[in-house]
Amino acid sequence: MICMKKVLIIIGFILLFGSARLYGQIKGELYDATVQELLKCVEMLKQDPDNILKVSEMLEKNSKWTMMNEIDDSCYPLEARCRIRDKVDYTNINSLAFRIESNRASSMVSASSFLNGNSPHYNHSIYELMVKSQAEIMFTLKYRKGPQLFLAVPFLPDEKMDVSITCNGINIPMNVTEKGYMEFIIDNVENQSDPIVVRMRNNSEKNLSAIIINHNMSNRKGGE
C-alpha cells in the first residue's frame, strides 16, 4: 500500500513537471521575435514621439503583423471614445500602422478592405484603444485558433485600465509582467468560431490608452 502511494506521488510529480514544461514551451513560442519587436516599437513611441521614423522603419521591414482593425465602432460607444479634442496620452501607432498597411499591396482584399487579425495570413495583430474616464468598451474577436497571447500595454504605467478576457464564456487569468503589461494566455482555442471577448474599463479620472497585441498561433509558420 505504501509503495503504491509512492508510485502515485511520483506519477503526479512527473505529470506536473511535464505540464509545466509544456506550458513554458508554449509561452516561449508565444513571445516570439515579432511580439518582442512590436513591444519594442510601443515602448519607443511611449518614451519619445520623435522615434516615429525608427519605429516606422521597423514595422515596414516586418511583414508578419497587421492591425487589429476588425474592432469597429460598434464596440466603441460614443460616450467612451476619445475624440481629437479630448486630452489623452497615446502612441498614435494606429495611424502609423494604417499608413504602412495602406502601402502594402499584398495586404489589400479589395480597394477598401484590409486584412486584419481575422486573417489566416497573419499571426500578429496590434491596436491602440483610447477610453474616456469612467467609461467601458467591449469587443469580440473570432477566427483565432490554438494557443493565444494577448498583451494590454498601458501608456501610463501607473494608470492602468481594468482589462478582462473570456474565451467561450470562460474567464482567462491575468498576469501582470515585470514591465506592467497585462498578460493573458489561452492554452488552446479549439474552434475559430469560439468568441474571445475583451472588456476594458477605465476607472481613472483621466482618459487612458492601452495597446493590445495578439499572437494567434493558428498558423505557426507565420510566427517563426
What is the per-residue pLDDT for 212? 96
Query: Residue for cell digits 497585441?
Result: 213
Residue 116 is given by DSSP the state: -
What is the per-residue pLDDT for 163? 97
pLDDT digit of tens for each residue in the chain (224 aa)? Answer: 556 655 555 544 443 443 344 445 567 789 999 999 999 999 999 999 999 999 999 999 998 999 887 876 667 788 898 988 899 999 999 999 989 988 875 545 443 444 677 777 789 999 999 999 999 999 999 889 899 999 999 999 888 899 999 999 999 999 999 999 999 999 999 988 899 999 999 999 999 999 999 999 875 544 34
What is the per-residue pLDDT for 224? 42
CA dihedral 11, 15, 20, 22 (to 10 degrees): 140
Q: In what order do the strands lie in the sheet with 124-131?
A: 65-67, 124-131, 208-216, 146-154, 182-189, 174-176
Which residues lie closer than 8 Å to 186 by C-beta, 6 or more apart? 147, 148, 150, 165, 167, 172, 196
Query: Residue for cell digits 522615434?
Result: 51
In angstroms and rounded to an integer, the radius of gyration of the C-alpha atoms of the chain is: 19
